[in-house]
Copies of this chain bind each other. A is one copy, B any other.
């Protein structure tokens, strides 16, 4: 079975930027405006197997993303998670290292005539909140994040 993260790395849809070791994609769900997935460019299953170079490169990604999201949309702080649960739904799993990045907001943000809110600010993210937006709006979010890096 082909790894869906390796597939995404070839496709490059919704790519915001890439570094030597990581690619940063705008996530499908945008309940948290600017939510991203940060995917390692090689197929590697867990955090313990990251090289020093990949960690340092990741630290630069984190800095860039946090800086841009504050500047672009006024994000206040950020939730970073490395979970990898889905990979374990199947036996003989072969997971692919990635981070989830959720910017958090203390007020509503209007962008492209859409209001994004974060009613649970200062609390755990709510996985049931969904927000799907048109590709045109997604492209504008990507452009804005790139502009402010």
Contact = CB atoms under 8 A, between A and B. Distances in A.
Interface stretch (A72-80, A108-116, A139-147): A72-80
A62 B48 CA distance: 6
A121 B62 contact: no
Interface stretch (A4-12, A51-59, A129-137): A51-59
Contact of A56 (B52, B67, B83, B123): B52
Contacts of A78: 46-47, 84
Contacts of A59: 47, 50, 52, 55
A104 interface: yes
Contacts of A83: 79-81, 124
A89 interface: yes
**Chain A: interface size category:** 35 or more
A123 B85 contact: yes
Total copies of the chain: 2
Nearest to A95: B77
Interface in A78-108: 78-89, 95, 104, 106
Contacts of A123: 85
A46 B75 CA distance: 13
Nearest to A122: B88
Interface of A: 46-48, 50, 52, 55-56, 58-59, 62-63, 66-67, 76-89, 95, 104, 106, 121-124, 127
